[in-house]
Amino acid sequence: MHRFQVKGGRLWAEGVSVDRLAKAHGTPLYVYSRGTLVDHYRRLDAALGGVPHMVCYAVKANSNLAVLAALAREGSGFDIVSGGELYRVLKAGGDPARCTFAGVGKTREEIEFAIRKGICCFVAESEAELQEIDRAARGLRRRAPVAVRVNPDVAAGGHQKITTGTYENKFGVAFEGVAELYARAARMRGLAIRGVQMHIGSQITAPEPFVAAMRKMAPLVRELKAAHGIDFFSIGGGVGIVYDPALASGMAEWWEDREMPLTIDDYARAVIAETGGLGVQVQVEPGRLIAGNAGILVARVLYVKRTGSKRFVIVDAAMNDLIRPALYGSFHEIVPVRQLRSGASDPEWVATDVVGPVCESGDAFCHDRLMPDLRAGDLVAFLSAGAYGFAMASNYNARPRPAEVLVDGRKSRVVRRRESRADLVRGECR
Ligand SMILES: *Cc1c(COP(=O)(O)O)cnc(C)c1O
């Protein structure tokens, strides 16, 4: 569910026309819906009401201060993967005591920063890291709260680069040796063992992989609770969203391609069923589920050209602004911001490649997609760009990053100004 709707031939973000925002702030432009963000958080929090729980929004999906502040005001916790993300959460008014710190390569400096700020828990991914956290904590005369990320060896996730829960990838500690690792960690005087964590992948649109992983983990959770008194089990993030409504509605040619939404209620029901009897707090770390459908990227058509049989629509947004299609082959629905050529009740559909100006063949948002007959000057919106959109943007090709706007009802405000050319060289010298 989101609050970007076509009404009266125009695309609206809540109560603000996207057209107007593009005119006021230029393109490319990220537009977020505060109502959608908060609604996703509240619905997940409420659906998990049957078990002691904490929702830790995965900051890496979208770390804009206004996004974090909106969630902090709702009481959200945060899952961070760097000292920089902790800094952002603190700047946004988030509570460090509700932050969990994940990632395979935390530096000593990041560990000390997080200990000083009093985070809820480190999620360690190796014995060597536990030893480093132990040393850092003893150096500060503190005890660092820790959990270990366990790899349950369950395949899940929409793409090879976003599956994380099998032994083929770098994440977590192999399931088999975990109990012994906790026993060794218990002897490290700088550590306080608090919980156990898993995170099996991203863009998962069925409950089965979560259920399989939780079932595999449940006996371990019980064992660790008895042996070390752990008080939470984090099941990570990874709940997928619908990017392609055609796949979700069953128009896909192959049922395997269907992208059925995993609803918040179905997910929560499975979580409660599998973890309700464990007697520990359940933590979830959703990123995409909260932010994905809460944002769009708006771009303007610069040129239309034909080469051979191909029709290219060149827009002013590129892979540096939204890299998911180039990096993962991901689908984003692309819609005109205004119904085109009023009067044409049945617009002509043409096979189109929508591409950006970056000098890479990979800089394409779609290939041969049937789209309305776009022309230079038209505005288009890439939907579901709220997660892993701006957060992954770069200055490649010396392109300033877009502005970000947050809409709240009929109000909107710039929550990150468009970068200038001077920003491009800030910090450099010749
Ligand atoms: C990326 C990540 C998440 C969030 O993943 P989503 O698919 O966006 O929900 C949660 N936990 C950890 C440890 C992550 O690395």
pLDDT tens per residue across span 311-321:
999 999 999 99
CATH number, residue 270:
3.20.20.10
pLDDT tens per residue across span 179-229:
999 999 999 999 999 999 999 999 999 999 999 999 999 999 999 999 999
Residue 286 CB–ligand 1 contact under 6 Å: yes
Are 133 and 278 part of one and the same domain?
Answer: yes
pLDDT, greater one: 257 or 271: 271
Are 132 and 279 part of one and the same domain?
Answer: yes
Residue 359 lies in a domain: yes
- Mean pLDDT (whole number) for 40-55: 98
Closest CA to 136 of 105, 115, 106: 115
Cα–Cα dist 236/118, whole Å? 21
Residue 60 CB–ligand 1 contact under 6 Å: yes
CA 308 to chain centre: 38
Are 117 and 225 part of one and the same domain?
Answer: yes
Residue 182 lies in a domain: yes
Residue to mutate, 60, 234, 262, ligand 1, most ligand atoms under 8 Å from C-beta: 60
Of 270, 286, 302, the residue at which a domain comes to its end is 286
Residue 292 CB–ligand 1 contact under 6 Å: no
pLDDT tens per residue across span 63-84:
999 999 999 999 999 999 999 9
Residue 150 CB–ligand 1 contact under 6 Å: no
pLDDT tens per residue across span 403-416:
999 999 999 999 99
Are 269 and 298 part of one and the same domain?
Answer: no
Are 142 and 240 part of one and the same domain?
Answer: yes
Are 360 and 317 part of one and the same domain?
Answer: yes
Domain that holds residue 166: 102-286
Residue 47 lies in a domain: no
Are 121 and 205 part of one and the same domain?
Answer: yes
CATH number, residue 387:
2.40.37.10
Residue 323 lies in a domain: yes
Q: What is the pLDDT of residue 65?
A: 98
Cα–Cα dist 149/136, whole Å? 19
- Mean pLDDT (whole number) for 96-102: 98
Q: What is the pLDDT of residue 255?
A: 44
Q: What is the pLDDT of residue 246?
A: 75
Q: What is the pLDDT of residue 254?
A: 45
Are 108 and 174 part of one and the same domain?
Answer: yes
Task: Give me the amino acid identity at 67.
Answer: V
Q: What is the pLDDT of residue 253?
A: 47
- Cβ atoms within 10 Å of 215's Cβ, excluding its own: 12
Are 215 and 358 part of one and the same domain?
Answer: no
Q: What is the pLDDT of residue 245?
A: 83
Q: Is the pLDDT of residue 250 over 60?
A: no
Which residue, judged by its Cα, is nearest atom 3 of ligand 1? 237
pLDDT tens per residue across span 134-158:
999 999 999 999 999 999 998 775 5
Of 286, 320, 350, the residue at which a domain comes to its end is 286
Residue 325 lies in a domain: yes
Residue 31 lies in a domain: no
Q: What is the pTM of this model?
A: 0.95
Q: Where are the alpha helices (DSSP H) in 329-414?
A: none
Are 348 and 252 part of one and the same domain?
Answer: no
Residue 288 CB–ligand 1 contact under 6 Å: yes
Q: Which atom of ligand 1 is nearest to the CA of 60?
A: 1
State how many domains the chain has.
2
Residue 193, CA distances (Å) to 173, 187, 335 in order: 16, 10, 49
Q: Is 410 exposed, middle or buried (0-12, 13-18, 19+ CB in 10 A)?
A: exposed
Residue 275 lies in a domain: yes
Q: Which atom of ligand 1 is nearest to the CA of 102?
A: 13
Residue 1 lies in a domain: no
Any residues with CB less than 8 A from the CB of 273 and at least 6 apart, and which?
Answer: none
Are 274 and 304 part of one and the same domain?
Answer: no
Q: What is the pLDDT of residue 198?
A: 97
pLDDT tens per residue across span 342-384:
555 566 789 999 999 999 999 999 999 999 999 999 999 999 9
Instruction: Work out the percent of the chain whose per-residue pLDDT is above 70.
Output: 92
Are 387 and 347 part of one and the same domain?
Answer: yes
Of 286, 311, 343, the residue at which a domain comes to its end is 286
Cα–Cα dist 428/419, whole Å? 16
